[in-house]
Amino acid sequence: MKAVFCEKLGSPEALVLREVVSPVPGPGEVKVALRARGVSFVDVLMIAGQYQVKRELPFIPGGEAAGVVLETGPGVERVKPGDRVLVPGGFAEETVVAAQRVTSLPDSVSFETAAAFRSSYCTAYYALQRGRLLAGEVLLVHGAAGGVGLAAVDMGKLLGATVIATASTAEKLAVCQQLGADHVINYTQGFRDQAEAIGFTIGGLARLDPAREKRNFAILMGWLAAGRITPYVSHRLPLARAAEALQLIRERKVIGKAVLV
Ligand SMILES: NC(=O)c1ccc[n+]([C@@H]2O[C@H](COP(=O)([O-])OP(=O)(O)OC[C@H]3O[C@@H](n4cnc5c(N)ncnc54)[C@H](OP(=O)(O)O)[C@@H]3O)[C@@H](O)[C@H]2O)c1
């Protein structure tokens, strides 16, 4: 199977596509044929060695993907070959993961949408919880056309807020409006920064409050299955063009998410 490798830290051009032996699932593991992989700003940081979590070289970049179960190892009962699933997979044709990290995908959710969803929506949802957003309040989202930003716009509307979105181009602001933003501001024409940010990591939330992380993810999967939230994908590229997808993110050309299909 083919996979994209980061063999030295740096920019996306250094990534290499290699043919490697197809992985075999061990006890409690599941092998998945990936159909779509989400590409995030976090991946740009990770391959540059600038993310807070450092991975040992060489590694396959990417953190979220969707596909079809090919094979299960001994002792796996919760999924079977042929099931459509969401997994923490990377930029590869196949991956092997522990069965408890596999989420079944409702038929109503496409592979692309699923791959574009998890990190952005979980991050934005927890941020809205931390901000204690209530229906009827006004939500200001800076960087609103990014993956996390658009997720905040989408869920801000679902939760009943009036949403103000800021971004750098008319095209980005149009997508914010498409996802429901009530007001849009091109901040390049001047904006006095009045918002506060609270930092956290989703990995951290899973460690600090696993019950909340699980509950939030179940809520978001329910909204996704019912079509109440709409992850936006502006760019779809083949796996072999992973470097280009990361470069598009660096150049701020991606709106919402880029996906490798
Ligand atoms: N804590 C967590 O668990 C978690 C999870 C995911 C992401 N993150 C972090 O959240 C941030 C946003 O992630 P994302 O996936 O939404 O990124 P993204 O899709 O690349 O979006 C970032 C947005 O920020 C704006 N921006 C302003 N100044 C920028 C600059 N100097 N360089 C690049 N973009 C700039 C861009 O819009 P304009 O062109 O309109 O300015 C862009 O749309 C990142 O710092 C990421 O590491 C954290």
For the CA of 200, the nearest atom of ligand 1: 1
Give the strand order in the sheet containing 138-141: 138-141, 162-167, 183-186
**Whole-number Å distance between alpha carbons of 160 and 136:** 6
Q: How far is the CA of 147 from the centre of ligand 1 (A)?
A: 7
Mean pLDDT of 250-260: 97
Which residue, by CA, sits nearest to atom 43 of ligand 1?
A: 146
CA distance 137 to 159: 10
**Ligand 1 atom at shortest distance from the alpha carbon of 249:** 20
Best residue among 252, 253, 257 to mutate for probing ligand 1, ranked by most atoms within 8 Å of CB: 252
pLDDT tens column, 79-110: 999 999 999 989 999 999 999 999 999 999 99
pLDDT single digits (tens) 20-65: 999 999 999 999 999 999 999 999 999 999 999 999 999 999 999 9
Q: Which residues line ligand 1 (CB under 6 A)?
A: 40-42, 45, 119, 123, 143, 145-149, 167-168, 172, 200-202, 249, 252, 254
Selection from 100, 87, 110, 89 nearest residue 29 by Cα: 100
Please report the domains of the chain, with CATH numbers, ordered by start residue: 2-117+231-260 (3.90.180.10), 118-230 (3.40.50.720)
At 13-28, the pLDDT tens digits run 999 999 999 999 999 9
